Structure 1
Amino acid sequence: MSSSTRFLVVSFDGLRPDLIAPQLTPNLCRLQRLGATLSNHRTVYPSETRSAFPSLVTGTTISRHGMVGNKYVDRSVTPQRYIDTADAVLLRKLDLESGGRLMSAPTLGEILAASGKSLAVLATNSPGTTRFFHHKAEDFGHIRLSGHFREACTPGEVLEEVCAHIGPLPPEPSKIEPDTAGQEWITSAFLEFIWPKYRPDVTILSYGEPDTTSHFHGTGAEATRGIIAHCDRQFGRVLDWWEAEGRAAGVQIIAVSDHGHITGHTRVSVSDSLQEAGFRAGTAPAPDVDVVVVPGQVGALYLANPSDQQIARLVTAITSEPWCGPVFTRAKNETDGIAPGSLGNHLIFADHARAPDVSFTFRADDGPDPFGLVGGTFYDNDRGAELGLHGGLHPRELASVGIVAGSTFKDGGYVSSLPSGICDFAPTILSLMGVSIPASATGRVLNEIISADTSDPLGRRDLTVARPEVFEAGLGNYSQRLQRVSVGKTVYLEGGWATSKNL
């Protein structure tokens, strides 16, 4: 492939693929007509932003890159500590403390830098998410700009140049207000300054919406649809540039989302349930806490004494609750976890040293929400019902956007129904740029949407779709089922479900 081939990855945080429609997102629909759509595309587990985007830039699952959730307990130090990866300054500190091993797999920015190429990031996500797109950008002199947060920006002189050219960083919006200004700022920064002056080999342009608005207004709410339309208009500016200039310059466009959303219908308290079962639950490690319940929509339970017996006791307690969905513990054999009723966490590619002792998702269903969107769930937070949530294994949480266009890709509205996933983009980009794919990558080159043959040094050219695998476990009235599908040797999660006989 030509050495002039460049990539622009445009992300829409939390956009459900089934919300892409001519009236709401005419420009994403235009991209579909110009290029190819991955219609059976999904993310990783947990379907959280700061697990999924590390998978985007490493081409691998959390079992290899190590970002086991938006928040986790760090057991590598004494005393143990609670980590919130939304904090960009903390992430830099952790990376330096660990000798550069915050991420357990090489990232796109590092791989490109080793080949003399550049990755630029412009994002309106949280400071931590923005850093995750290229957490070592300052080490290579690469550009990473946040639409709101100076602590996530590097180099400082580039930020000052951009601010002088297009205006100051917009202030962080309140959580209840859709972020329109930030999306406009990063779009203008790319189109008016970063591309004309620097022409990065790969650029990630990440709109932090509609995720936040979905969380605080609802996935199908008027405010959420409004910010989706706004992000689509910003993307329309990008697409106009691409058709006028970018395509001729060898730029390939990839539009993605990191996960979908479903809707919370019933609020519960995991900590209260565990207290009633005799555990001393807390949200961070402490002398009087024997199980840490990491806050979030994905259940992550860390025991002070993670013996097999205590893990089994914990699984027994949560599987008796109506809110409990699929449950995972460290593997006992090829299928089961060490606790009766659980599946092995290797089946969801979550078996990293940072993984919790017990992972679970809240029980979800296919009921329609007030906006007519499929997918509802129990939840544990201080917000009201009928708001967007994600993190688990419902197919609508796992479903994510994958649309491509450019000279290297099939065009004319081509649609691929082959299973694909967020881990496949980095190997595809590297392959098309003639850069070696690291052995750590679990994703594959998306040969089915590439217009011409390309080399795949790891030999993952097999596009045979295997019959879905189903794994089951149960305990008492509780039963669970996990379904996966594979293309060649690459495995994708299709969904996880749980039921109780007495419900």
Structure 2
Amino acid sequence: MKFIIASFDGLRPDLIGPELTPNIARVQALGTTLTKHRTVYPSETRVAFPSLVTGSTSSRHGMVGNKYVDRKTVPQLYVDTADAVLIDRLNRESGGGLMSAPTLGEILHKAGKTLAVLATNTPGTTRLFNHQAEGLGHVRFSGHFPEACAPKDLLELAEAQLGPLPPNPPQGVPDEEGQVWITSAFLEFVWPRLKPDVTIISYGEPDTTSHFHGTGSKTTRDIIAYCDAQFGRVLDWWEAEGSAAGAQIIIASDHGHITAHSRVSAIDELGGAGLRAGIAPGVDIDVVIVPGQVGALYLADRSEASIARMVEVLTEKPWCGPIFTAPRSELEGIAPGSFASTLAFIDHDRAPDVYFSYRADDTVDEFGLVGGTWYDNARRPGLGVHGGLHPKELACVGIVAGSAFRADGGASDVPSGICDYGPTILSLLGIPVPESMTGRVLREVLAGATIPADPQAEPEVLETGLGAYRQILRRVRVGATTYLDGGTAGGAPVAEVTSR
């Protein structure tokens, strides 16, 4: 049995359909769609994809954000995980400790099996799919960046056959050439030569185009259709050859997008509260605000009093959504008004002192898409962002097809998540699922599964707050696995709320 995971970065499930994505829709008709599929928090690419390959949340694997501060170095180091060279160096210097949970590549290698990665994401994202590929003897090809590719001799052979890696397009220009290259590399080079046990084909769009043109814009829809057409080449191969060879298809995305509508500068706002804020550690900095759509605050003074003061300042801001700090109890963080970070599975030692999301809502944008938010970047309103806890950010694509899965063209309404792919693949390959994996085996969509046997979902709604600030976190449990369903913040309590 083999597995092909085709991922579309930032694709909202509600943009899939016969007109825009006919090939993805073909797979839906052949297999099962996971209608309540969720990503992790922060809903960022380089948190979510490590969750896919480790089967665990950031509390286990340690990739706590697209960017983070490493407090263990002297001086403290600002880490941008988009930098493949940097994260490779950090992994080597830490003796292989970049990830604090075993990855799919490592687990497969120990079982005598292989993982191939072909991706057009940032070089760092590409490396994070299988950061130990060099030592494992696995293939990892980027559609643009040679520094993310391994092994070098196979890259040279692939380029000799397919042509050189195309240049990364200018900022804001949809990436077409890269999608063609990785698709051809799989069909014409990787599969014929290596027939990997698991292959990840990661199309880096529509994420980038959504950030620069808007999630529902014509430009973004065009690149979605383009990527779908490239995947259609893989699907044609699968129907002609791959399925008979035992290949299973999994279609995924790492997160959704919502629309930025109101700009704020957190650095300016906190500076106005008397705090010396910056984007990197320094002797004159009270708080590091890691750039991005997720508020990640690293304080110079990490005392409870200092953290509590920071949270109190945040709760008074109209742009601040849900807030998390280290746990004081099962529900509450050490700062009054905050949730315990354990509730969102973000309690790793690399995590910031304070996580917060920008306040989101259900406004409808110019393209008719639900979901809007405050945001903190230099771009104009109306563009796509992600990272927070709005349900449309957490919603991600989940479709499975092949002989191992139900083939009725139906849907599973059982909650599921990006951490579940790893355990499911390992189980079907007969490889023990490690205890580090927080996801579960998706037994309800396996061949022979029946709807009445679907596991029961137990919803949970939690509330905390400080003064007029109230925040709500929605989760759902299936067996021993808990998924995030959304989080909101506002000025009034929500009725009929239960807490643990």
Taking structure 1 as the reference length, the TM-score comes to: 0.96
Instruction: Give, in angstroms, the shift of residue 12 of structure 1.
Output: 0.2
1:380 is aligned to 2:371: no
1:104 is aligned to 2:95: no
Aligned positions of 1:314-333 closer than 5 A: 314-333=310-329
- Matched with 1:459 is none
Counterpart Cα distance in 2 of 1:60 and 1:227: 30
Counterpart Cα distance in 2 of 1:70 and 1:193: 31
- Matched with 2:137 is 141
- Matched with 2:287 is 291
Match of 1:46 among 31, 38, 42: 42
SS in 1 for 2:164: coil
Counterpart Cα distance in 2 of 1:119 and 1:52: 18
- Matched with 1:244 is 240
- Matched with 1:483 is 474
- Matched with 2:465 is 474
Instruction: Give, in angstroms, the shift of residue 465 of structure 1.
Output: 2.5
1:155 is aligned to 2:151: yes
Counterpart Cα distance in 1 of 2:328 and 2:457: 25
Match of 1:440 among 431, 436, 440: 436
Instruction: Give, in angstroms, the shift of residue 249 of structure 1.
Output: 0.3
Counterpart Cα distance in 2 of 1:161 and 1:205: 19
Instruction: Give, in angstroms, the shift of residue 108 of structure 1.
Output: 0.1
Cα deviation, 1:460-501, whole Å, max 9, x if unaligned, reads xx9533431111111122110001001111100000000025
Counterpart Cα distance in 2 of 1:135 and 1:257: 20
Match of 2:3 among 1, 4, 7: 7
Give the 4+ runs in structure 1 shifted more than 3 A. none
1:346 is aligned to 2:337: no
Instruction: Give, in angstroms, the shift of residue 436 of structure 1.
Output: 1.1
SS in 2 for 1:313: helix
Q: What percent of counterpart residues are identical?
A: 66
Aligned positions of 1:49-68 closer than 5 A: 49-68=45-64
1:266 is aligned to 2:262: yes
Give yes or no for contact 2:414–2:455 (8 Å, CA) kept in 1: no
Instruction: Give, in angstroms, the shift of residue 194 of structure 1.
Output: 0.6
Counterpart Cα distance in 1 of 2:398 and 2:109: 25
SS in 2 for 1:441: coil
Counterpart Cα distance in 1 of 2:186 and 2:492: 54
Cα 1:436/1:501, change in 2 over 3 Å: closer
Give yes or no for contact 2:458–2:478 (8 Å, CA) kept in 1: no
- Matched with 1:93 is 89
Match of 1:403 among 399, 403, 422: 399
SS in 1 for 2:470: strand
Counterpart Cα distance in 1 of 2:324 and 2:346: 9
Give yes or no for contact 2:119–2:141 (8 Å, CA) kept in 1: yes
- Matched with 1:220 is 216
Match of 1:73 among 65, 69, 72: 69
Counterpart Cα distance in 2 of 1:70 and 1:463: 35
Counterpart Cα distance in 2 of 1:225 and 1:463: 35
Cα deviation, 1:285-330, whole Å, max 9, x if unaligned, reads 0000010000000000000111000000000111101100000000
1:30 is aligned to 2:8: no
Counterpart Cα distance in 1 of 2:174 and 2:296: 29
- Matched with 1:282 is 278
Match of 1:113 among 109, 113, 120: 109
SS in 2 for 1:72: strand
SS in 1 for 2:24: helix
- Matched with 1:458 is none
Counterpart Cα distance in 1 of 2:143 and 2:25: 25
Unpaired runs of 5+ residues, structure 2, are 494-500
SS in 1 for 2:488: strand
Cα deviation, 1:233-284, whole Å, max 9, x if unaligned, reads 0010000000000000000010000000000000001011111111100000
Counterpart Cα distance in 2 of 1:79 and 1:236: 49
Cα deviation, 1:391-418, whole Å, max 9, x if unaligned, reads 0000000000000111000012021000
SS in 2 for 1:431: helix
Give yes or no for contact 2:415–2:457 (8 Å, CA) kept in 1: no
Aligned positions of 1:357-372 closer than 5 A: 357-372=353-368
Taking structure 2 as the reference length, the TM-score comes to: 0.97
Give yes or no for contact 1:463–1:487 (8 Å, CA) kept in 2: no
Give yes or no for contact 2:444–2:455 (8 Å, CA) kept in 1: no
Cα deviation, 1:124-150, whole Å, max 9, x if unaligned, reads 000000000000000011100000000
SS in 1 for 2:256: coil
**Partner amino acid for 2:490?**
T
- Matched with 2:303 is 307
Counterpart Cα distance in 2 of 1:201 and 1:468: 36
Cα 1:311/1:463, change in 2 over 3 Å: farther
Counterpart Cα distance in 1 of 2:410 and 2:322: 35
Cα deviation, 1:349-384, whole Å, max 9, x if unaligned, reads 000000100000000000001100000000000111
Counterpart Cα distance in 2 of 1:112 and 1:443: 17
Cα 1:378/1:225, change in 2 over 3 Å: same
Match of 1:500 among 445, 468, 491: 491
SS in 2 for 1:412: coil
**Partner amino acid for 1:354?**
R
SS in 2 for 1:163: helix
> In the comparison of the two structures, how many residue pairs are matched?
490
Counterpart Cα distance in 1 of 2:275 and 2:172: 35
SS in 2 for 1:468: strand
Report the RMSD for the aligned CA atoms in angstroms.
Answer: 1.0
Greater displacement, 466-475 / 102-111: 466-475
- Matched with 1:428 is 424
SS in 2 for 1:299: strand
Give yes or no for contact 1:322–1:500 (8 Å, CA) kept in 2: no
